[in-house]
Structure 1
Amino acid sequence: MISVRQLKAARVLLAWSQGDLAQASGISEPTIARLESTDGPVRGRPDTAAALVGALVKAGVEFIPENGGGAGVRLRKRKR
């Protein structure tokens, strides 16, 4: 499960708006805005979170699990 902060950070890394994420994931922009208006883990239906994460991963984001240094996100290295 990812956090709302990870979701927002992933969008920022990609320079995506909520509308961009909506288009890439098939989840409505109002739903994304509602999910991002809270803090903590991304709430809602599991398939909604999976669609959001899937779109971000496909675009090049890696979600980093809690490993003692905190959960986070980063961009995948591009292959040369």
Structure 2
Amino acid sequence: MSEPVVAQKSPIAVDVETGKSYWWCACGMSKKQPFCDGSHKGSAFSPLKYDAEATKKVFFCACKHTGKSPLCDGSHNRV
């Protein structure tokens, strides 16, 4: 698999907390979207760490084609 699976064609809003780390699923196969559950094992993909610098709502990419990984950049409109 050279292309990630499109988990959904819209971002996933998550309330993140200052100082916490989140592991974004890059392969699209996780059942815990937008976060990694280990489904990438055996593939060329690996999760991406996101460190929250502030407590706020962020929009994680779920189409897995963003140019601003792990956050949404609107790429789902072109997938």
More strand by share: 2
Q: Which is helix-richer, 1 or 2?
A: 1
Highest RCO, 1 vs 2 (Cα 8 Å, sep ≥ 6): 2
- Same fold, TM-score > 0.5, yes or no: no
TM-score by length of structure 1 reads 0.25
